[in-house]
Each structure stands twice: as C-alpha cells, then as structure tokens.
Structure 1
C-alpha cells in the first residue's frame, strides 16, 4: 500500500503527443470528427436494435454489446487526447489516471474479442445446427455467455492492475499517445520486479489466443457448410461475412498494437509507432457499426425506414 500511496503524486509525460508539434489543431479537428462519428455510428446501431423488436435476437443483442465495448474503450482515450491537443504545454497524466486509462482501453479490447467469440458461436449454431438453434442458444444461455464475455476480461485485468500497483515507479517518460501496461512497467525502478507481471500478461495473451482459435474453428465449420449450396453462400455473405470482417479488423488492430509494444519497434519513427498504436482505437469502433449496418439486411432496412419516418414524422408504421 505504501507504493500505491506514493504513486498518487507521480506524473507521467506522454512524449508521443510532442511529435505532433504545430499540427495539433489539425489533429484535434480530425480526431474530434472521428470521435463524433464513432459515437454516432455505435449509438445509432444500438438504438436501432433496442427500438426494433424484430431485432431482439441473439446475433443483434451481441452486436449491441460489441458497440458498447467500442464506446467504453474510446471514452478511455479520446477525451484525454483531445484535451492534450488543445494544450500548448506538455501532455501530462497522473499515475491514477494512467492506470485507469490502461484498464479501460485494454479491457475494452479484451471484451471485444470475447463478444466476437460469442457471436462466432451464435453463427456456428445458427448455420451448422439450425434445427437446434433455439434450444441451444436460449435467452438464459445467451445472458450467461455475455456476462462471461464481460466479467472474464474485467476480472483478469483487475489482477494485472493490482500487480502493477505494487511496483515502485522511478521514471516519467511514456513514448506513446496514451498509457498502457508495458509503458508503465518500463517506468519501474527495477525491471526484475516485474517478472510476475510479464508472466500474467502471457497468461492473458494465451486466453485471447484460445478465443481466436475458437473463432477460427467456428468460421471454418461455417464455410465448410455454406460453400455447398447457393442458399448457404447467400446466408454466409449476409450474416457471417460482417463477422469475419470484424474479426479480421480487430485481429489486425491488435497485431499493430503488439508491434508497437515490441522492443524492436523503438527503431521506427515516433509518428509511425503512434499510427500503429492507435489502430485498435480507430478501426474496430469506426468500422464495425458500418460493416454490420450496411451488410446485415434486417438492420439496413430498419435503419432506412427509421430515417424515412423521422423525415416524414407522421404516418410511419413499423412493419414486423
């Protein structure tokens, strides 16, 4: 507890923002537009699913949770980043805010992978075992799976956070636009004291890889079933292709972040490392609602009808 108490007065400097220099106003404008777009797209998709009763099915309920993880994760980064871009001073962040930001950003990414795993299971049952779909994926089982998809990452990250809090901090330089666990560990007074943290990080990575394997296995089975008929291929394109694209985007973004955290990446220019590190805060939150909104016919029809109704304001009746 002595370490935690002494940490509260420690301040980190985010040197990644210093690289932006005189271009801060431009980056503020672009980031603000992007953040508003992310909020609008995800909230619109959530509202469409909540309001339209015909969309109260497992796949769309999972999609609501996926959008919620995006909104949750971006809250941990964009407001602070926008404030730093407006400031002419060095970008500083307190220890308490740094660990909070780390927790929010990385639990959102872990929750996203977990929810994508649940969605992969939903698509597997729907296409490979259609006659047993409603008996297998009952509302109670879906609720339990979604609770697990949130509780597992949040609790695993709590342990990681507690392990980080016990370490003494001596340095203040973070070469990123935001805080993350590897960056905090590098500020420790003794790198040898962080071996438990690294071991726990490996355990967490293994958990994420295991979920990726489950997703890949379900996609393989789905493709095997669907390629045999034109009806199956149509179903795959309409309901599974968005999920496959979302998985690819999330995986690519996580790989970029891992490359950023890799020690060998230190030789890359800072602006390149900044671009790599931001991908999982840009691509999934922005692309997922667009992909699902445009590709899933039920959501697309409902959203277009809602826009027409809001334009006319009268005489609109929902069709089920």
Structure 2
C-alpha cells in the first residue's frame, strides 16, 4: 500500500566518516585487494574451464564458488572505492536495495555452495562406486542451479519486503548497505511481522544447510577412520573445504553478532569486521584450493613456467 512506501530517497553511509587523511591509503589498499581477488579467482576459473580433465563435479563446484566470490565483491568494491575518493558518502534508495540484494545473495550463495560441496565429498568418499552415477552432469547442473537460484530468490523476497517498509532514518553506520541494517531502520508497521516470518524461514533453511554439512562430515570422518586411501583423499580434497567452512562461519558469525547486538569496539574496528567477508573469503578460498589441490597447483605453475620460458 502507498502509505508503506518509504519517503527516504538517499542513504548516508557514515562508516567512512573517520577515515580522514587515510583515504588515499585505504583507496590504494582496497584497489589492490580487489585486483588481487579478481586475479586469483579468474585464474582458478580459467584453469578449470580450459583443462578438460577438471570438468568434474568437485572442480565445477569450485569454479562456481570462485564466480560467486567475484559476484559478491563486485557489489562491494566499486562503491567503496568511489566513496573513498568522494567527500560525501551517499547511495540512492534503489542502489542501496540492489547492493543489499547482491551482498545478501552472495553470502547465502557461499553457504549453499559449501553445502553442495560437502554433499559431493560425502558421495566421493562414502559411496565411491556410485559417485559418477549420482553426480552425473544433470545432477551437477541441478545442484549448481540450486546453489545460485535458491539463495537469490530468498534474498530477493527479503529485499522486496524491505522495500515496502517505511524507513525512519536515512543514516547507515556502515560502509555498505545490508538488509538487516535497513530492516532495523524501519518504523515497524504492521507488515513487519510478515517480514520477520520470512526472515526466520530463511534462517531455518540455512540452519539446515549447516546441519547437513555437519552430518555429511560425520559420515566422511567415520568412513576415513579405517581406510588409508580414504584418509589420503580426505586430506587432499576435504581439508580445503573445511578450511573454507571455518573461515566462512567465523567471519559471518562475528559480523552478524556485530550487526544484531553491537560490539564495544571503535567504529574503525567495527568497519573492519564488517568488510572482512569481502577480503578474507574471496582471497583465501582460491588460494587454499589452488595450493592444496595438486592438479590445480600443477596446472597453474605449469602455465607460469611455460610463459617464463
């Protein structure tokens, strides 16, 4: 209804207010970080696409993981780079909603892809004789589509409901827009109850994602105990995945806790905590997989050696 349409047309991002004379340094660091993220993720994606031997479920899912890293960071870095060079840090209402959608779906995509990768490792180690029949090309395509479309649809529904809320404050104490912060700026009209229900449904869905990951690795670890071959496969392919999981959960839990309850820290440190998911995970994931998975490491190092010669 029209009375629920927000009168806010622009948001003021106050997260960079204390950067002062450090903006040139921060701009340089952010630009280097973004370029490095693009470099390592594109290198992994291109390596997997060009090498036909890597057209297997595990590598296809890894390629999807890296693509999601590029998708999420593209929704964050161009805007913050612009703000670091601008005296006024504002974003339009529609632009804020789009950025919130990209960032929300990026984070949810990460968890869904990690859950699908856990399922892939479960089948590979616990049911190796059935692996190729279970993880067929059609099944992998379905899982990849699920890992992208489901989080995007859930995030889009949340953003649409947020756009219907009447917002009482145009100030966001962050360097980017995120749905939870926008929701907390609402004047809490009657339909906030519907929004809360949708949010909790989303939380339950992703809680099941986390429980599924735990369940799958319980079976994987149980299978690996009595088999040297499975232990070697676990160390080679599961350790990078578990490393990515640990990084993801630590970063996300700290950020959610900070948004929901606030930490008794300086604004600068809080800003650092809020952007670590755009720095740590997009850089660490391709590096962890690139160094740990022998086929990817050898392919990349072989390409570099060939170019040097």
Equivalent residue in structure 1 for 2:246, among 224, 245, 248: 248
Equivalent residue in structure 2 for 1:277, among 266, 274, 277: 274
Q: Which runs of 5+ in 2 are unaligned?
A: none
Structure 1 residue 5 displacement after superposition = 7.0
Query: In the alignment, which residue of structure 2 is the partner of 1:45?
Result: 44
Query: In the alignment, which residue of structure 2 is the partner of 1:295?
Result: 292
Moved beyond 4 Å, runs of 4+: 3-7
TM-score after normalising by structure 1: 0.92
Query: In the alignment, which residue of structure 2 is the partner of 1:179?
Result: 177
Structure 1 residue 4 displacement after superposition = 8.4
CA shift digits 1:61-80 (9 cap, x unpaired): 00000001100000110000
Q: Which runs of 5+ in 1 are unaligned?
A: 313-320
Query: In the alignment, which residue of structure 1 is the partner of 2:226?
Result: 228
Within 5 Å, which residues of 2 pair with 1:116-195? 116-190=114-188, 193-195=191-193
Taking a change above 3 Å as real, the CA distance of residues 53 and 197 of structure 1, as seen in their structure-2 partners, is: same
CA distance in 1: counterparts of 2:83 and 2:290, whole angstroms: 33
Q: Would you say how many aligned residue pairs link Structure 1 and Structure 2?
A: 309
Structure 1 residue 6 displacement after superposition = 5.8
CA shift digits 1:84-120 (9 cap, x unpaired): 0111x22111111101000001101111111111111
Within 5 Å, which residues of 2 pair with 1:15-94? 15-87=14-86, 89-94=87-92
CA contact (8 A) 2:13 2:175 kept: yes
TM-score after normalising by structure 2: 0.95
CA distance in 2: counterparts of 1:223 and 1:178, whole angstroms: 40
CA contact (8 A) 1:256 1:279 kept: no
